[in-house]
Amino acid sequence: MVNKKYKIQFTEKDRTFLQQFVSTGKRSAREFLRAMALLLSDKGKTDEEIHGILNVSTCTIQRTRQKYAPDGLEAALFELPRTGQPKKLTSSQEAQIIAIACSDAPEGRSHWTLELLREEAVKRDIVNEISTEPIRILLKRHDIKPWKKKMWCIPELTDTFIERMMDILEVYERPYNPQEPVICLDEKSMQLLAHVREPIPITPGAPERYDSEYKRRGTANIFVMVEPKAGIRHLIIKERKRYEEYAVCMDFLSTVYSDINKIIVIQDNFRTHSKNH
């Protein structure tokens, strides 16, 4: 028999809560096992017996009881949010390093390496000092692989490109202001397809099935307007993406945001977005 560390005495209220906790609702595996460990401890089971029933380590069982004793059930069952390490790079710094990674490699080099990117970031005063690890994590998060040739790259980082990029990043980094919403607008042409034969619905043991043959039903253009900091998205679907359709989107935004001071729209350099039309 193994003596329990951190002996606890349950109140009837906590005991009832734990019984309901393990029998109702959706729980994570960790929360369920912690609750069961507490209930089994309350029934007089030793740590070795609980380990044999739940297949969790005795350290986990002891740690769960230890958290319950001073702080109660919430501390014992649930994990507190982890702060983690602070970001090594700001959004603006990340964007500049990504732009470098997507540009032509230095003369005599076939592609950018982590060390070359680190040196270039310091050389351009993007950062004062940095290791290669944050850069590796950044490239991985954005699925950027400079050593592969099958990718779209910015041919040259001109002063004009960098100036415009920094202007846009500055707008994105402004604190949220409901009276000056930042709207990102883009459009995409989509092909409309129809089934030649009706799909076969999903059944137990078999996924939904559909025939590879299809009919073309023309195309449509989707305008997407997103206010990222407010979590709002608007869609407008039109047959084409001429000046007239773009004007409809602008009119739509002015109607939706009719009671605010100014709408800030971020968009690409497509010809229909020109102020001359």
Helix 58-71 / helix 47-54 crossing angle, nearest 10 deg: 110
Q: Pairing between strand 232-238 and 214-227?
A: antiparallel
**What would the two tokens of residue 256 be?**
């939706």
Boundary residue ending a domain (49, 77, 105): 77
* Confidence at residue 103, expressed as pLDDT on a 0 to 100 scale: 84
Domain that holds residue 115: 91-163
* Confidence at residue 275, expressed as pLDDT on a 0 to 100 scale: 66
Q: Are residues 186 and 256 in the same domain?
A: yes
Highest averaged pLDDT of the listed ranges 76-85, 161-170, 247-256 = 247-256
Coil, helix or strand at residue 200: strand
Give the least confident one: 149-158, 192-201, 230-239: 149-158
Q: Are residues 184 and 251 in the same domain?
A: yes
Q: Cα(222)–Cα(241) distance, rounded to whole angstroms?
A: 8
Q: Are residues 47 and 97 in the same domain?
A: no
Q: Are residues 158 and 245 in the same domain?
A: no
Judged against a pLDDT cut of 70, whether residue 153 lies above it is answered with no
Would you say residue 203 lies in a domain? no
Q: Are residues 183 and 254 in the same domain?
A: yes
- Number of structural domains in the chain: 3
Judged against a pLDDT cut of 70, whether residue 117 lies above it is answered with yes
Mean pLDDT of the region 161-189: 86
Mean pLDDT of the region 64-80: 77
Handedness of CA 235, 238, 241, 245 (dihedral sign): negative
Q: Are residues 107 and 130 in the same domain?
A: yes
pLDDT band at 218 (very low <50, low <70, confident <90, very high): confident
Q: Cα(41)–Cα(15) distance, rounded to whole angstroms?
A: 11
Q: Cα(277)–Cα(271) distance, rounded to whole angstroms?
A: 9
Would you say residue 132 lies in a domain? yes
Q: Are residues 133 and 156 in the same domain?
A: yes
Nearest to 37 by CA among 73, 14, 65, 15: 65
Would you say residue 86 lies in a domain? no
* Confidence at residue 182, expressed as pLDDT on a 0 to 100 scale: 92
Mean pLDDT of the region 157-179: 82
Please indicate whether residue 258 or residue 149 has the higher confidence score (pLDDT).
258
CATH assignment at residue 267: 3.30.420.10
Mean pLDDT of the region 191-211: 81
Would you say residue 19 lies in a domain? yes
Q: Are residues 102 and 146 in the same domain?
A: yes
Residue 220, strand partner residues: 190
* Confidence at residue 1, expressed as pLDDT on a 0 to 100 scale: 43
**Average pLDDT of the chain, as a whole number:** 82
What is the C-alpha R_g of the chain?
29
Burial 81-103 (b: 16+ CB within 10 A, else e): eeeeeeeebeebbbbbbbbbbbb
Would you say residue 198 lies in a domain? no
DSSP 71: H
pLDDT band at 2 (very low <50, low <70, confident <90, very high): very low
Mean pLDDT of the region 166-178: 86
Mean pLDDT of the region 127-141: 89
Residue 62 backbone phi and psi in degrees, to 5: -65, -40
pTM above the 0.75 mark?
no
Judged against a pLDDT cut of 80, whether residue 39 lies above it is answered with yes
